[in-house]
């Protein structure tokens, strides 16, 4: 059975809710799924988080599985922070192994929508730098994260 990994960071839960919706769709499509919610070692203020994201900081994250070898498809999710992905996901994408040739889906949640295209482009570039192939992108406004998502079903 195809095994799908969903790796995401969520500070206030919105991206986590979207990850849950994605999980439901994948399960309904008969996929075996694992989810990793990244956690930063330290908590930072709103302003610091925005600046860290803007300057593409890689946040120190708690221990996580960085080995992607055993999965057929991967999803990466993050909130949009200052038009950028969150530092925890930057760090994960730097450290992970085995993304080469994999089908990758990226998802973001956002507030106003300012910079969401930029954040997704940055995320796509990071995935491609590690050899992943981005096959779909989802961007959901924070108020819409409880809604059912339409997914292109992965391998």
Piece of 32-40, 45-53, 62-70, 96-104 that binds ligand FMN (CB under 6 A): 45-53
Q: Tell me if 109 contacts ligand FMN by CB under 6 A.
A: yes
How far from 102 is each of 31, 34, 91, 98, 144, CA to CA, in Å?
16, 16, 19, 8, 28
Determine, following the binding rule CB under 6 A, whether residue 110 of this chain makes contact with ligand FMN.
Answer: yes
Q: Is there binding between residue 114 and ligand FMN (CB under 6 A)?
A: yes
Instruction: Tell me the closest approach of the beta carbon of residue 59 to ligand FMN, in angstroms.
Output: 12
Instruction: Please tell me whether residue 90 binds ligand FMN under the rule CB under 6 A.
Output: no
10 to 1, 37, 113: CA distances (angstroms): 28, 7, 17
CB of 144 to ligand FMN, least distance (A): 10
85 binds ligand FMN, rule: CB under 6 A: no
Question: 3-state SS string over 102-134?
Answer: CEEEEEEEECCCCCHHHHHHHHHHHHHHCCCEE
């Amino acid at each position: 059975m195809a095994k799908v990994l969903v790796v995401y960071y969520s500070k206030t839960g919105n991206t986590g809710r979207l990850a849950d919706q994605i999980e439901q769709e994948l399960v309904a499509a008969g996929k075996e799924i694992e989810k990793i919610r990244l956690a930063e070692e330290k908590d930072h203020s709103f302003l610091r988080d925005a600046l860290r994201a803007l300057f593409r900081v890689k946040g120190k994250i708690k221990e996580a599985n960085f080995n992607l070898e055993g999965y057929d498809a991967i999803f990466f999710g993050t909130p949009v922070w200052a038009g950028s992905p969150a530092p925890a996901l930057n760090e994960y994408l730097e450290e992970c192994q085995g993304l080469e040739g994999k089908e990758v889906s990226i998802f973001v949640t956002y507030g106003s929508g300012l910079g969401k295209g930029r954040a997704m482009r940055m995320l796509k570039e990071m995935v491609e730098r590690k050899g992943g192939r981005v096959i779909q992108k989802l961007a959901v406004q924070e108020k819409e994260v409880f809604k059912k998502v339409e997914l292109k079903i992965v391998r």
